[in-house]
Amino acid sequence: MTIIAAADGSALGNPGPAGWAWYVDDSCWRAGGWPHGTNNQGELMAVLDLFRSTAHVPHEELLILCDSQYVINCITKWMPGWKRKGWRKADGKPVLNVDLLKDIDQAIVGRKYTFEWVKGHAGHDLNEAADERARAVATAYQQGVAHRAGPGFPGSLEQASQPATDVDGTQPRSSETVPAGTAAGSKGLAGGGSASAKVERSPRPHFEPTLFGESGIFGQPDLFSELEGASAQELSAEDTVLALERELLRPDVRADIGRIGVLLHPDFAEIGSSGRFWTRDAMMMALEEDPGEPTDLELLSADRLSDNTILLNYRSLAHSGSALRSSVWMLDRGQWRLRFHQGTVEN
């Protein structure tokens, strides 16, 4: 028998209050989260917990439906190479979210599994159910209230339920249980119990120091901390998109697969100056190997095409020359992402 499950993550603010969830059906699902995390960390944790929650049935094959190509590529394409390099990328920098990836690497040993990409928010029943539960956990952490943890997978080992110090050093509320991997030292997996009567706290993801400093999305300060302390509420959508475009022109950002995965829309496409058509996956892999040179930006126009779409036209200026460029940015689940880009080299 093949277990078919959707896995999804959610972060309000990205980073911000975060949730994750996997879903098989209404009687078989599980969710958790953290006070502070990212979408990608939520997606990875959902996959990890699904493997852990089905560890007692290793003979059953898993079909994992996921709307994150970043997560799928990490596990099915990039992880073996990162391991050979001591969990470092091609440029020698540490791999982001390495703790979650190492745990997944251990959890998949001996397992039969297949990933299938599904388009998010496109009406896929399992994906929508997982997304709804992940977002509910993120919202619960934002509001400081209990969340539904779900019934778990039938037959999985039960978690320890005794109170213990939480990962942030505080004492859990009496209604909370401590998941595997926290200070309680439990090696169990989530199992039965009332879904509405307990709150699960996932191990908080470890933010590694990077060139960007501590915290923020994948370890860097968030966009707005770079804009003279302005808050998201004080920035227009056009200013936000322009700042994100400038960020994409930085070689250190372009070499960061995790950050690029956030900035590029799942359906991203680019027509290069040579006429080559680039997909999101091809672009992410190319940028990791060669992030290019430092580039400046001279804005020509920023046009609001709709409430959720902005077109930027600008001239890029680099040591190798200049180019006229157009970028279409779309608002996707509260995050502006680059949907299309085209550039023409100037003579």
- Active site residues per annotation: 8-9, 43, 67, 121, 131
The span from the CA of 5 to the CA of 24, in Å, is: 5
The span from the CA of 343 to the CA of 327, in Å, is: 9
- Contact by Cβ (8 Å): 330, 308: yes
DSSP string spanning 297-313?
A: EEEEEEEEEETTEEEEE
The span from the CA of 127 to the CA of 294, in Å, is: 39
C-alpha of 195 from chain center: 25
Cis peptide before 15 (omega within 30 of 0): yes
Q: Which helix (H) or strand (E) holds 37?
A: strand 28-37
- Contact by Cβ (8 Å): 238, 310: yes
DSSP string spanning 230-292?
A: --GGGS-HHHHHHHHHHHHTSHHHHT-HHHHHHHEEEEEEEE-TTS-EEEHHHHHHHHHH---
The span from the CA of 284 to the CA of 256, in Å, is: 9
Length of the chain: 347
Radius of gyration for the chain, computed over Cα atoms and rounded to the nearest angstrom = 21
- Contact by Cβ (8 Å): 103, 48: yes
Residue with tokens 């080559």: 276
Secondary structure letter of residue 75 according to DSSP:
I
